[in-house]
Amino acid sequence: MKLIFIGDVVGRPGRQAVRYWVPRLREREGAEVVIVNGENSAGGSGITERTARELFDAGVDVITSGDHLWDQKEVVSLLRNEPRFIRPLNYPPDTPGQGSTVIELEGQPAVAVMNLQGRVFMAAMDNPFVVAVPEVERLRRITPIIFVDFHAEATSEKIAFARSLDGQVSAVVGTHTHVQTADEQVFPNGTAFLCDAGFTGPHESVIGREIEPVVRRFTTLQPQRFAVAKKRVFIQGAVIDIDPTTGRARTIRRISEAMPPQEN
């Protein structure tokens, strides 16, 4: 079984890259499932029903999120009404929405998708190391194939979290930093790992935003408006090959594909 995960989609350029590349990647890789982190898909900050629909219409099966979950007020409707959209599991129990979902596939085992958020250099949340365990146990009673988007800042926390689940889930891929790492590997017990999937959007930028306002913010410490950049648009993420019987990952390979010039 092939699964594609796409890193943080930033604004309109990122959505355009998803529309262009997801159908092509599905065909090229023979992927059964496509998962996208969409927490920055609406104007570079948050997600709306319209931007979520645009991603689903492009062929995305599940949308994950992270610390920008609440940046658009429309997200509450998504959380309550869209089972293919998930937020970090380690929010308090009465938070709207869900931290995992299960995709049913014809002729294949179901695929479970979980979303958790780290705590190092991030907002206070329930402990993801603790919260994940009972949910993984519950999902393993449904399917051996479990994919985890771990939305976190610190590389040590990402690696430790993934190591703690080695053999219990098929893959743990990190998001949030918008910088694709080169540490893809399959751990000894069969869990694929990548510290950060990178981001889908304009790379002539500072992690998706226009360069000069970000430089001015660091230089002057004064507030600036960080508009989404436009140039050199890439889609980034990973392709994971999973044994459908055991749920163990066979391989993980990074994706980083530029938009053709006429499509930018």
The answer to whether 234 and 263 have CB atoms below 8 angstroms apart is no
What strands lie across the sheet with 108-117, from one edge to the other?
A: 100-105, 108-117, 145-151, 171-175, 192-194, 185-186
Tokens found for residue 103: 């995709």
Catalytic residue chosen out of the listed positions 68, 176, 178, 203: 68
Which two three-digit tokens encode residue 208? Answer: 């998706």
Handedness of CA 250, 65, 123, 46 (dihedral sign): positive
- Reading the block at residue 242, the tokens are 């999973």
Q: Please, which residues bridge with residue 36 across strands?
A: 6, 63
**Residue of 24, 64, 20 whose CA lies nearest to 175:** 64
Q: What is the CA radius of gyration of the chain?
A: 17
- The yes-or-no answer on residue 68 being catalytic is yes
For residue 68, which phi and psi values (nearest 5 degrees)?
-95, 20
Q: Are the beta carbons of 202 and 229 closer than 8 angstroms? A: yes
Strand partners, 172: 148, 193
Alpha helices in 82-226 (DSSP H): 128-140, 155-164, 211-220
Distance CA(122)–CA(125), nearest Å, equals 8
- Identify the bridge partners of residue 138 per DSSP, sorted by sequence position: none
Q: Which residues are catalytic?
A: 68
